[in-house]
Amino acid sequence: MTGRRNSTMITRFILLGFSEFPKLTVVLFSTFLGIYLLTVSWNVGLITLIKMDPHLHTPMYFFLSNLSLLDICYISTVAPRMLSDFFKTHTFISFVGCTMQYFFFSSLGLTECCLLAAMAYDRYVAICNPLLYTAIMSPTLCVQMVAGSCITGFFGSSIQLCALLQLHFCGPNIINHFFCDLPQLLILSCSDPFFFQVLISVLTVIFGLTSVLVIMISYGYIVATILKITSAEGRSKAFNTCASHLTAVTLFFGSGIFVYMYPNSGDSRSQNKLASLLYTTVIPMLNPLIYSLRNKEIKDALNRWKKRIFS
């Protein structure tokens, strides 16, 4: 009974955020607010453009619009709370609030893993089976792949949440981070984390490794197909359709691996915090640019939209 009473002592946590930089509070707040506003506006703009232009009503842009919507939700699980904490004297978050923040953050992260894999398969079909592309990537299949990504992501995160609620927190209650992330919660737990670590390893293999494997196999076939194209223009066009997705995949999985595989020593926590900033705030802001800057179809759609406005 004593152990159970001690386990219920922690009812809230303290998020340190960026309190180690008190002189930069205004600068950091302004920077992150700008990033958040740009992320929301750019992704909303991309979704609107895809929705309004009939030329972009293809599977590739259907997945891209869903990725933009996912990025808006993803950054919104972290950024508003982080911004509101900058000027608070005491940055408390309840245990329930902390676990729910991680639940939604994890759900959206796992969903993005699955969605990036679905987008890789879409590129594989477009380049390796162009004549059957419309038949294979039907609207029904595209909706099913997006829905399946969401359901799978929330299912995986629900398993983590159930396991997380079994952990006991009896002190300390200070989280050296700007949001409730899993590595920091495990450090504070008074329970033996072995089972939870095994569970996370299994989920990592199922979600992370499977998604990466699908992406690698898809691009293996894509590269083999591109090398068979005789014209330089054809190879360049095929490569450009994949370069943006590969860049987004590398940034997302690279930063995630650094945070969740890097040892949580005292010297590394600042580096982990910076890497977390990359995949929680910077990447959602960059994704619309990554997919738009070298995309001729989106540039053409923007030009058509400008002509409509000015005419």
Number of domain units in the chain: 1
Given a cut of 60, whether residue 306 has pLDDT beyond it is yes
pLDDT in tens, 51-73: 999 989 999 999 999 999 999 99
Residue 120 has pLDDT above 50, yes or no: yes
Tokens representing 266 are 């005292």
Q: Facing residues of 174 across strands?
A: 14
pLDDT over 80 (residue 310): no
The mean pLDDT value of the chain amounts to 86
- Spatial distance between the Cα atoms of 186 and 242, rounded to a whole number of angstroms: 38
Looking at the chain, the whole-number percentage of residues with pLDDT higher than 90 is: 43
3-class secondary structure, 20? coil
Averaged over 206-214, what is the pLDDT? 87
| CA dihedral for 63, 102, 284, 247, sign (positive or negative) | negative
For the ranges 17-31, 130-144, 222-236, which has the lowest average pLDDT?
Answer: 222-236
Helices and strands (H and E) in the chain: how many:
14, 3
CA dihedral 253, 254, 255, 260 (to 10 degrees): 80
**Could you read off the pLDDT of 240-294 as tens digits, one per residue?**
778 888 888 988 888 777 776 654 544 456 667 877 888 889 999 999 988 887 7
Q: Report the 10 Å Cβ neighbour count for 44.
A: 14
Give the pLDDT score at 23. 87
pLDDT level of residue 9 (50, 70, 90 thresholds)? low
How high is the pLDDT of residue 150?
A: 95
pLDDT of residue 267: 47
pLDDT at 64: 94
Domain span including residue 292: 2-310
Estimate the crossing angle of helix 25-52 against helix 59-76, to 10 degrees: 150
Rg (the chain; Cα; Å) = 22
| CATH number for the domain that contains residue 205 | 1.20.1070.10
CA-to-CA distance for 39 and 53, rounded, in angstroms? Answer: 21
Most confidently predicted of 69-83, 155-169, 180-194, 195-209: 69-83
Alpha-carbon gap, residue 39 to 283, rounded angstroms: 9
Give the residue carrying structure tokens 């995630």.
256
Percent of the chain clearing pLDDT 70 (strictly above): 93
